[in-house]
Every structure is written in C-alpha cells, then in structure tokens.
Amino acid sequence: MKVRRSLRIPEILLIFAVVSVWSFSGCSSGVTGPVSGEKICPPCPCQENSSSGDADNQYFYRTIPSTIVDRGTGGGIGYYTSLAFDSNDYPHISYYDLSNGDLRYASLEPGEGGKNRWRVEIVDQIGDVGSYSSLVLTPGNLPRISYRDETEGKLKLASYDGTSWHTEILDADGNNGMGSSLALDPNGYLYVSYIKAGTYDLRFLTYTPTGSTAETVTRGLGQSVSFATSLALDPQGVPFITYYNSLLGDLMLAYRDPLIMQWISLAVDDSEDDVGRYNSLVIDSYGSLHICYQNDTRGELWYAKYDPDRGVWTRDTVDTEGSSGAYCRIALSSRENPIISYFEEANGDLKVALKSYDRWQIYRYDTAGITGLWTSIAVNSQGAMGLAYRSQNPDALRFRYAPTQ
C-alpha cells in the first residue's frame, strides 16, 4: 500500500541567508506600490559556460537578488505562476490572486533612462478566476493564458491582441479546467491538457483559428488534492502529457501515437511510493523527455528521462533533504541540461537543481521567510535562468535571474 506524506506549509519566519550575491547597477528591489508593482531590473547577461565549476561548493553559482513584482493585500498573491521570456528576453508572468479571485499578468517593460519596470494588470476578475494559469507567448510576443474559472467551473483562455485582453470559454462540457497546461506549436495552434472534475478525466484540447475540439485522454484518475498536468510537444509536434493517478499513486505519461492517432498511457513510476502529485515535463531537441516530480512518501525530488533512440528510461533521486520537490518545474539550459525549481518544506526555501557533467548540483536561491512556492522557471536566449515564485513573508510574487553555470 502506498503511503502519502502529509505536506505542511507552515507560516513561520526564517532568518534570511544569501550565499554570494551578484549585483547589477540599476537593479533595485524597491517597489512603488502594491497596485503597479513596478521594479527596476535590467535583463541578465548571464550565460552557461563550459566550466564544471567548483565540485565541492554546492553554492558555486552566484545569484541576483529577487525583486517583488506584485505585493498582495490579503495573503494570496502569486499562486499558479507561469513564466515565459519573449523574443527580446523580457520576462512575462501569469498568476492567480487568491484573495481577490483574479487572474493577473506581469511583464517587464522598457522604462525611462534605460530602467526597466514591471507592469502588472488584471486580466480577468469576473467571479473567482485565474487558478491553474499557464502562459505561452506567440512569435509576436502576445500572451496566451489558459486558466480555470472556479465560479463557472470552466476552462478559459485569455488572449492579448496588442491593445486589449479577450477571454473565452474553451471547454463548456461539465466542470473542468483543473491543472491546465498550455503549449503552442509553430503554426500558432494552441493545445491544453487539464482535468475534468467529478470524473477526474484527463482531457486534451486543440485550439485553432477555426475553433476548438476537446477529447478525453484517459478516464477516472481518482480524486487528487493537486491536479497537476504538464504538456509538451516533441520536435514532430506529438503531444505528451505527464499527470498524477491518485488511485494508484503513480506518475503517468500519455502521448498521442502519430501512427494510429490514439492516446497511449503508461506509468513512468509505479513504485510502491506515492509519486507524481507535483510533476513537470519538458522535451529537448532530440526528442528526449525530462520529467521532475515529487516522491510524496519520502518527501524527495526525483527526475526521470526517456531516451527515444534507445527506448530506455533512467531515474535519479535529486534531493532528499528537508522534504523537497513540491511545486517542481523543469526547464532546459542552453546546453539542454535539465534545471528544476522547487520548494523545500522543512526550511521554507526556494531551491534549484541543475544536472551538469552527469551530476546534480543543488542551490538555495531564496531563504527569506517562507518562499519558493508555486515556482515557475524559464531560460532566455542568453542562457540566463528566470524564476517566478510566491513568498509568504511578505505576501508577494517575486522574480529573480540566475546564471545556469
């Protein structure tokens, strides 16, 4: 029988500790107010280099102090964050304001005197909206956000046309939209994976200029306390989805076989432990799958990779310290090494794991109070890593840059 570890997120204050700090002139953590959330911080020129670094120093990487993007007013800003960089390497973030039930969006924009500022806006505030937000940017740097309307129980899409936001219901069939994950293909078509309430079916939706079609991938996942799906397209455009089957306590993978045009579902990890409640998927240019997930029984961060050429799965135990792995999100460095952001429960810290030279290196990137919840990670064209995440002390959405090597 599988055993689930109870996840606790205590509201405690911890002592702030920063391992070496890398400062940029003109980068400030000051904030002009909770409404605008404006910050000054230039794009980061950090790049991954070929050096393996100091193998004995797990804090080898230097990091830039975080900025507060948006301050909460009632204890609930920065849930369900989703981060993306545009073609000019400016970060964009979608997230949920739990206190007010709003979908919010923040983007770093050029300011006067070469100082860039965060622009924060409310995208949708009709009812309780914005949970499970997932963001992609079009080739023209226009944001698209999938999210759930809790009031109506529907999957929705928010689109910006360069002037204003437009919202629409994507799937009107029953109560759905939990755990949404959004992907964009080269043709501009959108794809969404999500969970339907009640039946807890895994669903997949295709959105094109002529309309949208939704289909059931697999039925009856069981009632889960964390509806996490993660969608990615391989180099041929084949959709892959990681998800959690709470009936079995397994991390699962579904993909649509391009030969028979049917969905195939298989277990990535069906060990005796309860695994996969938090999961995230990315696919590299060779078609290899990289998955981070939490072993909930052990409170550990795990990683799985599938090599399509050899048809082989490999798995790593990444971090066993301090009940790690919650809210894990994965990205690839400029050298296509996996990078994972996640939360350590014991100390309430934001952590990052990077695999390089066949070994994992673990770093604490924020230790001020309870911080690092609802992490999202992305890498820009210069090889710099961006992290968006929620802190509880103070209640805020935060962003920081960090080099990947």
User: Does the pLDDT at position 378 exceed 60?
Assistant: yes
Residue type, 6: S
pLDDT tens digit string along 212-264?
999 999 998 777 656 789 999 999 999 999 999 988 999 999 999 999 999 99
pLDDT attached to residue 237: 97
Instruction: End-to-end CA distance of the chain: give it in Å, rounded.
Output: 41
At residue 129, does pLDDT exceed 70?
yes
1 belongs to a structural domain: no
Q: In 308-346, at which residue ranges do the beta strands (DSSP E only) sit?
A: 312-319, 324-332, 338-344
Instruction: Provide the token pair at 208.
Output: 């094109």
Q: According to the model, what pLDDT value does residue 64 have?
A: 64
Q: What is the structure's pLDDT at 30?
A: 30
Whether 215 is covered by a domain: the verdict is yes
Residue 29 domain flag: no
Q: 392: part of which helix (H) or strand (E)?
A: strand 384-392
Cβ–Cβ under 8 Å, residues 288 and 305: yes
pLDDT digits over 195-206, tens only? 998 889 999 999
Nearest to 379 by CA among 328, 335, 327: 335
Q: Is 2 contained in some domain?
A: no
* pTM for the full predicted model: 0.86
Q: Is residue 5 part of a domain?
A: no
Q: Is residue 22 part of a domain?
A: no
Closest by alpha carbon to 318, among 354, 347, 350? 354
Task: Report the alpha-carbon distance of residue 150 to residue 262 in Å, rounded.
Answer: 31
Label each residue of 153-177 as H, E or C.
Answer: CEEEEEEECCCCEEEEEEECCCCCC
68-108 pLDDT tens trace: 999 998 779 999 999 999 999 999 999 999 999 999 999 99
Within a domain: 116? yes
**Average confidence (pLDDT) over 368-388:** 95
Q: Which structural domain, as residue segments, surrounds residue 104? A: 67-403
Picking from 280, 402, 378, the residue whose alpha carbon sits closest to that of residue 329 is 280
Q: pLDDT-derived band of residue 112, with 50, 70 and 90 as boundaries?
A: confident
Q: How many independent structural domains does the chain possess?
A: 1
Task: Encode 238-262: b = buried (16+ Cβ within 10 Å), e = exposed.
Answer: ebbbbbbbbebbbbbbbbbeeeeee
pLDDT of residue 22: 30
Question: What is the pLDDT at residue 60?
Answer: 37
Q: What is the CATH number of the domain that holds 255?
A: 2.120.10.10
Domain-located, residue 6: no
